[in-house]
């Protein structure tokens, strides 16, 4: 994230600036996304983590203009995509793709795989002609570890993991630069998750993809992402390079989130006291810092000021007024 305008050569591939997305009534809206900014460099995988109501899925959709922003801008290669015409946006979509969470709901059950992938190609006028199209479909299925003969089957004939691979193939079909992966592993068994993680990591490297990886599974985020944005109730709590975030989380919410995720090792003591209370409703977020109602370090001032997202050290941002905690931790 940059405070000053970047020179052309360093223009991030994707940038969101102060985006907001509200739903429902104007007087008491659901503030799903409430002033979020971040940038993603070409080739980077940015993780978006958060729990229910964090806004992470909504952000994923707003970045692709599957949802319009209530306020703010989404920039692709420095250009505001919110102002583009429908025609222009459609052409751009071949560059910006998405992999959905639910492999059972995201494939049309009445279409064969060849038709699903073919539709993606036809929409963008790629690999025209039956021979060309079939060749490309076979290539795509091979890329995701499926057999070309399976193109003539229907989604219900595949397992969850296989359907997710088809979802990946569909996203890749149009040769995108940027992929939003919205909880792509959550519906899969653990032993299948690692297959899909490997697939995504391989493809990312081979095709030089830029990714926005949305997940609530911190272990997967730690493995796949270069940088992480931690969200709570529609706002950014912390941003950091992955290793640093997990080694030394600065924000109390990040600390609580990491402490609450049990590591699969009985020898690592899990002594942290869980956060009290529930996640507040996005329709009635607390005043000041939205996390203050559950924060073990909250003070009076937290209710009065919205903590700015400050750069604590290069690349590390935290939205918390308790700077004294950072000094104490470093001591």
Partner 1 sequence: MSTSLQASAEQPRLVVRNLSTSFPTEDGLVRSVADVSFMIHPGKTTALVGESGSGKSVTSLTLMRLLAKTANARVSGEAHFVTREGRTVDLLALSDREMRSLRGNQLAMIFQEPMTSLNPVITIGEQIAESVRLHKGLDHGAALAQAKRMLDLVEIPASAQRLHEYPHQLSGGMRQRVMIALAMACDPTLLIADEPTTALDVTIQAQILVLMRRLQAETGMSILFITHNLGVVAHHANDVVVLYAGRVVEHAPVRPLFGAPEHPYTQGLLACLPGKAHAAGQPRPKRLFAIRGQVSSPLSPPPGCAFEPRCDQAQSLCTQAMPALVDTSASRQARCVRVPAAVIAKAA
Provide the binding-site residues for partner 1, judged by CB under 8 A: 51-52, 159-162, 189-195, 197-198, 201-202, 216, 218-220, 222-224, 247, 256-257, 259-268, 270, 272, 274-276, 278-279, 294
As given in the structure block, the two tokens for residue 119 are 């539709």
In whole angstroms, the minimum distance from the beta carbon of 89 to partner 1 comes to 34
Q: How far is the CB of 34 from partner 1 (least distance, A)?
A: 19
- For the bound state, the minimum distance from the C-beta of residue 296 to partner 1, rounded and expressed in Å, comes to 12
Q: For residues 136 and 165, which CB has a smaller minimum distance to partner 1 in the complex?
A: 165
Q: Which is nearer to partner 1, 68 or 205 (CB)?
A: 205
CB of 207 to partner 1, least distance (A): 16
Cβ closest to partner 1, residue 46 vs residue 74: 46
Q: What is the 3-state secondary structure (H, E, C) of 254-280?
A: HHHHHHHCCCCCCCCCCCCCCCCCCCC
Minimum CB–partner distance for residue 45 and partner 1 (Å)? 12
Helix (H, G, I), strand (E, B) or coil at 264: coil
Nearer to partner 1, 70 or 186 (CB): 186
Residue 99: CB minimum distance to partner 1, A: 18
Backbone φ/ψ region at 303: left (φ over 0), alpha (ψ -120 to 50), beta: alpha
Q: Which is nearer to partner 1, 212 or 256 (CB)?
A: 256
**54 vs 210 by CB, closer to partner 1:** 54
Cα distance between residue 209 and residue 172, in whole Å: 10
Q: Which is nearer to partner 1, 108 or 198 (CB)?
A: 198
In the complex, minimum distance from the CB of residue 68 to partner 1, in angstroms, rounded to a whole number: 27
Rounded (10°) angle between helices 130-143 and 160-173: 130
State which residue, 89 or 197, has the beta carbon closest to partner 1.
Answer: 197
Pick between residue 159 and residue 305 the one whose CB is nearest to partner 1.
159
In whole angstroms, the minimum distance from the beta carbon of 301 to partner 1 comes to: 24
Q: How far is the CB of 52 from partner 1 (least distance, A)?
A: 5
Residues 139, 175 contacting (CB under 8 angstroms): no
């Amino acid at each position: 994230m940059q405070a000053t305008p970047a020179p052309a050569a360093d223009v991030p591939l994707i940038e969101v600036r102060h985006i907001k997305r509200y739903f429902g009534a104007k007087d008491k809206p659901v503030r799903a996304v409430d002033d979020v900014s971040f940038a993603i460099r070409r080739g980077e995988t940015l993780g978006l983590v958060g729990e229910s109501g964090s806004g992470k899925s909504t952000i994923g959709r707003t970045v692709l203009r599957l949802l319009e922003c209530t306020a703010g801008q989404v920039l692709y290669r420095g250009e505001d995509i919110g102002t583009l015409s429908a025609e222009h946006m459609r052409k751009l979509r071949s560059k910006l793709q998405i992999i959905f969470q639910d492999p059972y709901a995201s494939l049309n059950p009445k279409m064969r795989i060849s038709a699903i992938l073919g539709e993606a190609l036809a929409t963008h006028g790629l690999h025209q002609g039956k021979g060309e199209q079939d060749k490309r479909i076979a290539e795509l299925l091979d890329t995701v570890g499926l057999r070309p003969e399976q193109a003539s089957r229907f989604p219900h004939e595949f397992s969850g993991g296989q359907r997710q691979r088809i979802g990946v193939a569909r996203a890749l079909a149009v040769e995108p630069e940027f992929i939003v992966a919205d909880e792509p592993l959550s519906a899969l068994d653990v032993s299948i998750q690692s297959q899909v993680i490997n697939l995504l990591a391989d493809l990312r490297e081979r095709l030089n993809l830029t990714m926005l990886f949305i997940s609530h599974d911190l272990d997967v985020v730690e493995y796949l992402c270069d940088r992480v944005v931690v969200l709570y109730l529609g706002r950014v709590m912390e941003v950091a390079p992955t290793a640093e975030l997990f080694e030394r989380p600065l924000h109390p919410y990040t600390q609580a989130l990491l402490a609450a995720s049990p590591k699969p090792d009985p020898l690592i003591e899990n002594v942290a006291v869980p956060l009290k209370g529930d996640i507040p409703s996005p329709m009635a977020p607390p005043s000041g810092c939205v996390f203050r109602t559950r924060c073990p370090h909250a003070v009076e001032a937290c209710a009065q000021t919205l903590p700015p997202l400050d750069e604590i050290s290069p690349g590390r941002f935290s939205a918390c007024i308790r700077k004294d905690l950072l000094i104490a931790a470093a001591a």
